[in-house]
Structure 1
Amino acid sequence: MSDAPTQTAITRAFVLAAGLGKRMRPITATVPKPLVEVAGKALIDHALDRAAEGGIGEAVVNIHWLADQMEGHLLRRTGAPAITISDERDALLDTGGGVKKALAHFGKEPFVVFNSDSFWLEGPRPNLSRLIETWDSQAMDILLLVAPTATSLGYEGAGDFFMDADSRLSWRGEREVAPFIYAGVAILKPELFADTPDGSFSLTTLFGRAVERERLYGLRLDGQWLHVGTPEAIAAAEARVKESATAP
């Protein structure tokens, strides 16, 4: 990575909120996962509020499952970021296809992608601001916020990535345990979608291509990532939030 990152103002985001939330059932049989509340606030509002704190002025949010509930909730929000809805009622496009459908909203500038259930306790400095400050458009195709596998609450997998001394990321092997997991926030360039499939595909396709070019980078989350993937994980996350609020 170059010594002096090339700074670009990043003020737009895409929030992935169209998934079916199967692991959160039975709650998500009647409530879309982004509207599940943790610590008194819907998951998507945690994400959008973090976006606003990081200087994001405009956000595109995709909707599919229980779309009317999602649309109603988003229309009732006030303040930043200004929200545009990307309607996927007719067909679920997965993470990559969902972003590609909305590319016209981002022009040629890099933008942030959030998972709507990205949820963490902040460290001394807000992680989204750190991510945007770290972005280097000359060296990077994609920059991911990554969390330590061992200390992420509610996560029991083997991790996603290794990180070298220059913060480049590489995938873990099939039988390996990796020290970092993707924390659900990334900065991407629009041109990465130029030769992607039409319809449904995953953003991991773009992550893999960036790894091959040695242009996938990571920033270690400062704080603690809380994986809210199941009904049981909600109580654990809320307990951790309460504990952090009362800590000296």
Structure 2
Amino acid sequence: MSDHVPDHGIARAFVLAAGLGKRMRPITATVPKPLVEVGGRALVDHALDRIAEAGIGEVVVNVHYLADLMEAHLVRRAGPPRITISDERERLLETGGGVRKALPLLGEGPFLILNSDSFWLEGPRPNLQRLVAAWDPERMDMLLLLASAATSLGYEGAGDFQMDKDGRLARRAEREVAPFVYAGVAITTPAFFADTPEGPFSLNLLFDRAAARGRLHGLRLDGQWLHVGTPEGLRDAEERVRTSAVQP
């Protein structure tokens, strides 16, 4: 990968595309979830297009489930960003373990992490551009893109985080309802993965570490997050895109 660093200091991104997509079955029995289409385009292509639009030219994509299909699709893709594969065929490493394995491909600077199925309708300014502009390593170990639990389409949970006036995040307490849900996009640094376990682990481990230090921050998504987790959620997202004047 090249060492060109854009003005905002984030040159690379990691796209999580290795999961089994169990909740999306039967669709994902034969198609990996990142290749499921919304608005006539695969979810992973929406993610990669947004990364390129944010000025990030290098991306690592991990593969595990139906990995040959994923690789074939990514090879056919034209235009930026430049893609490198992190191969997890032998063992699914979960979100945190997948990033950790790919660290040698990601360089030493801060990088973006994006779930391949994270999908939203944009507001006036693209959200990845807003997120990279808000990143401040002096104050943050991690910066998360957060959606409103109340206005997200297809989300029925109790929320993930409370956010104070300075953007610092705290976990939702048990039996509490929180206004914000993690929208599947984060910025962090390779150094923050020091002392993480070998093998599979969740990014939640790092969310909690950052929160304990008062260095987990959030940025509210401008637009509408569409939770494409099930076949029903996919149908609802398709309808929302079809009826929206805002392009995904």
TM-score norm. by structure 2 comes to 0.95
The answer on whether the counterparts of 2:38 and 2:234 sit within 8 Å (CA) in structure 1 is: yes
The answer on whether the counterparts of 2:60 and 2:106 sit within 8 Å (CA) in structure 1 is: no
Q: Which residue of 2 aligns with 1:152?
A: 152
Amino acid at match of 1:72: A
Give the Å deviation of 1:107: 2.0
Report sequence identity in percent.
71
The answer on whether the counterparts of 1:13 and 1:111 sit within 8 Å (CA) in structure 2 is: yes
Q: Which residue of 2 aligns with 1:26?
A: 26
- 1: CA distance between counterparts of 2:10 and 2:175? 37
The answer on whether the counterparts of 1:18 and 1:65 sit within 8 Å (CA) in structure 2 is: yes
The answer on whether the counterparts of 1:8 and 1:137 sit within 8 Å (CA) in structure 2 is: no
Q: Which residue of 1 aligns with 2:3?
A: none
For residues 185-219 of structure 1, give each alpha carbon's deviation from its aligned partner in whole angstroms, at most 9, with x where no partner exists.
Answer: 00011111110000100111000000000000000
- 1: CA distance between counterparts of 2:41 and 2:95? 24
Kindly tell me: are residues 59 and 246 of structure 1, through their superposed partners in 2, closer, same or farther at Cα, counting changes over 3 Å?
closer
- 2: CA distance between counterparts of 1:85 and 1:47? 15
Amino acid at match of 1:23: R
Q: Which residue of 2 aligns with 1:14?
A: 14
Q: Which residue of 1 aligns with 2:77?
A: 77
The answer on whether the counterparts of 2:16 and 2:116 sit within 8 Å (CA) in structure 1 is: yes
Q: Are 1:50 and 2:58 matched, yes or no?
A: no
Q: Which residue of 1 aligns with 2:236?
A: 236
Stretches of structure 2 that go unaligned for 5 or more consecutive residues are 1-6
- 2: CA distance between counterparts of 1:44 and 1:236? 18
Q: Which residue of 2 aligns with 1:100?
A: 100
Give the Å deviation of 1:8: 4.5
Q: Which residue of 1 aligns with 2:4?
A: none
Q: Are 1:222 and 2:226 matched, yes or no?
A: no
Q: 1:196 is paired with a residue of what secondary structure?
A: coil
Amino acid at match of 1:136: D
Q: Which residue of 1 aligns with 2:62?
A: 62
Q: 1:151 is paired with a residue of what secondary structure?
A: coil
Between 1:61-70 and 1:105-114, the stretch displaced more is: 105-114
The answer on whether the counterparts of 1:127 and 1:221 sit within 8 Å (CA) in structure 2 is: yes
TM-score norm. by structure 1 comes to 0.95
Amino acid at match of 1:116: S
Q: Which residue of 2 aligns with 1:4?
A: none
Aligned length: 241
Q: Are 1:191 and 2:191 matched, yes or no?
A: yes
Q: Are 1:122 and 2:122 matched, yes or no?
A: yes
Give the Å deviation of 1:244: 1.4
